Structure formats: C-alpha cells, structure tokens
Amino acid sequence: MKLLSRYLFFSVLSASLAGVSLFVFVMLTANVLKDIVVLLEQGRLTVTVFGQLVALLLPYAVSFALPLGTLIGILIVLGRMSARQEIVAMKGAGWSLWRIAYPVILVAALGMVTSAIINNYQAPKARQEYKAILGDLVRIDPLRFIIPRTFVHDFPGYVIFVGDRQGSVLKKLWLWELDEKQMPTRMIRAEEGYFDYQMSTDSIILTLKNGSGENRSNADPNNLQTVQPIYAGEAKISLNLEGILGKRFTNSQRISNLTLPELLDKNTRLAAKLQSTSSPAAREKVSREKVDLVYQMNRRFAMAFAIIPLALLGIPLGIKASRSETMVNIGIAVALAFLYYFLMILVDWHHANPAMHPEILVWMPNSLFASLGLTLMARANRH
C-alpha cells in the first residue's frame, strides 16, 4: 500500500512540476517580450542586466503558475490511471476515493506552502529589485532612452527627436511639448542638449542650448494665428521620474512590493494612526488604506490556498474524464484556472470598498471551488 501511495505521489509531483515549468516558460516569455526584449534590442540593456531581469521575473511567474501547473499534473496522472483502469483496480483492492486522493492532496499541500512563501517573501523582494533596476537605468543613464534619428515617446507629455549623439551630448535636437489631448503646445529646436539626474526631485533635467521655437495657444493649438516665436538660448525641461516610469517603479512602499513582515508592520502603524486621527476625512482615508492592505494580505494567502480547492476539483474530474491525452487534460485545467482567475478579478473590482468586506470576499472563489470539489468527490466515491 505504501508503495502505491509513493507511486501516486511522485507521479503527480513530477507531472505538476512539468506543468508549472510549462506555464512559467509561457508567462516568462510573455513578460520578457512585453517589457525587456525591446529594451535589449534598442541597446538600452546590457546582456548581464537582461539576464538579471529575467531571473527576477521567475518568482512572480511561479506564483501564478503553481495552481495551474499542479492542477494539470493531477488531471494528467489521474486521467491516465483511470483510462488504464488502474483506479478501478485500486478501488477493487479496497481503496476509497479519499484514500486514493491522499497522496494527491499531499502534493497540493506542498504546492500551497511553496506558493505562500513565494507570494509573501520571494515575489515581493524580486519585484522590488526588478523595478529598482529599471528605475536606476534612467537615473544613471537617461541617454539609454535616446536613439538618434528616432522619435522618442518614453517621456510622457513630450516627444523628442535627436539628429545625432556625441558621447553625452545630443545634437540637432527637436522637442515637442504636448497637452492632455496629445496636441503640441510648444516646440523647441536646439543645436545641442544633455541630460542630468536631480536627486532632490527624483527628476531628469533636459538642458537645451542655442534653441528657438514657438508657443501655441493651450486653448486651441491648431490656431496658427496664436503661434508666438520664442528664442531659448538655454532652456531646462524637468522630466519627473514617476511620470517616466510610473508609480510602480518609483514607489517602493506600494503594497504589492512589500513582504509579509513589512505588511504586518505597516498594518500596525495604520491601526495606531487610525486611533490618533480625529479628522473624519483623514480617518476614512487611513481606514480605506488599511482595508486595502488587509485585503492584499488575504489575497496572497487565498491565491496560495487555491491549489487545494483546484486539486479537490481536479481529482474527480480527472477520474471521470478517463483520458490519457495530455492536451485534453491541459485544456480542462486551463478552463478551470481561467474561471478561478476570472472570479478573482471580479473580487478585485471591490477591493477598495470597505462595505463589501473584500478581505472576506477574496476567499469566496476558494470556498466555491472547494465545495464543488468535495461534492464531486463524494459522488465519485459512491460509484
């Protein structure tokens, strides 16, 4: 009996690891192509930095791939065993479905613990470092974003065109300042320019020399009668780093970037702040922040615990499907995971609404899948 349990445990474990690896590869490839391959192609990243960024994406990808990969492993192994009548033989030997499921649940529990550790420690740390590296690329060398004879749109509110680049000096530089509708309200052409990083404001300063251009009306940029010529012997343009990279790169205290101990510490400080604040508006703001923080903590554990409900659902479905085809089982797993993540997205819509108790609502998809899985398990055990 122990030999059979070990066989089932290691079969599901190896298949789950293969499933996790598959989806880590898919997710990692998608993120690499989206975020950093373009930077590498444009020469904004060195190969060493590129490798660091890819490695830092791994924990984030694993945290999402673990539930799906484990579910795939369960469906593949139990589907093949059922198709080969091995499940029937085990039941004929006196094993109940619950006894058969024991090694499978053990694999799911192992995945749950691993996922909880990654979600609360490794993934936030990797995310902090990943975003810090990308942010420092701009702080240390803003010229990485400048490609000669190419229109550069990386700086929100501005379009830059550089004719040539000689070391740190930009030659034949054109700059357009845009309004909210992306219409040009100012244009400057300078013979040369250069970038500096200003630590006090966390900004990139673009200095233009020997420039001239024109101002247009903010109310009607298309009205050529309002165009006013300007001469800018020297002009300085401040490009805030938060505007360039977004808050996700410049705000290290963002909740998603904090590890579990940091979240608990911040929760304690928010609770103390809530008690010492008398202003109703300030109390509401702190209360909402605290609710969001508690929700995020619960969400991390709920995502880790999701492996158990998905396993409970995958066991009877794998046995009932009785299929040895890997692609069919992968399709079933993807459909179930899609449904689960869709429900989590619905919950996310209410995460900032304290009246909905999002910290409780986030556990509803797990409860739904666990209830359905236990019901199907009970029915399958009677047959």
pLDDT at 304 over 90: yes
| pLDDT recorded at residue 30 | 76
Alpha carbon of 48 to those of 35, 43, 51, 52, 192: distances in Å? 16, 12, 5, 6, 31
- Span 195-249, pLDDT tens digits: 777 766 667 788 888 878 787 777 676 766 666 777 667 778 877 665 555 444 4
Alpha carbon of 263 to those of 120, 128, 142, 284: distances in Å? 9, 14, 33, 20
Is this structure's pTM higher than 0.85? no
Quick one: tokens of 355?
């009246």
d(CA 380, CA 221): 70
Question: Given pLDDT bands bounded at 50, 70 and 90, which one contains residue 120?
Answer: very high
Quick one: tokens of 372?
């359905």
Long-range contacts (CB closer than 8 Å, 24 or more residues apart) made by 364-369:
365/302, 365/306, 365/309, 365/340, 366/302, 366/305, 366/306, 366/308, 366/309, 367/309, 368/309, 368/343, 369/306, 369/309, 369/310, 369/312, 369/313, 369/340
| pLDDT recorded at residue 90 | 84
In the Cβ-directed half-sphere of 214, how many Cα atoms lie within 13 Å?
12
Place of tokens 């673990």: 66
Q: What is the mean pLDDT of the segment spanning 94-111?
A: 90
d(CA 57, CA 358): 28
d(CA 23, CA 3): 30
- The arrangement of strands across the sheet holding 184-198 comes to 151-152, 158-166, 169-178, 184-198, 203-215, 228-240
As a whole number, the mean pLDDT across the chain is 81
- Non-local (6+) Cβ contacts of 276 within 8 A are none
- Span 345-372, pLDDT tens digits: 888 887 777 777 888 889 999 999 999 9
d(CA 106, CA 15): 14
Question: What end-to-end distance do the CA atoms of the chain give, in Å?
Answer: 22
Q: Give a three-class secondary structure readout of 330-355.
A: HHHHHHHHHHHHHHHHHHHCCCCCHH
Alpha carbon of 360 to those of 4, 299, 350, 356: distances in Å? 39, 9, 11, 8
- How does strand 151-152 pair with strand 169-178? unpaired
Question: CA torsion, points 106, 110, 113, 117, in degrees to nearest 10?
Answer: 180
Quick one: tokens of 291?
């609710």
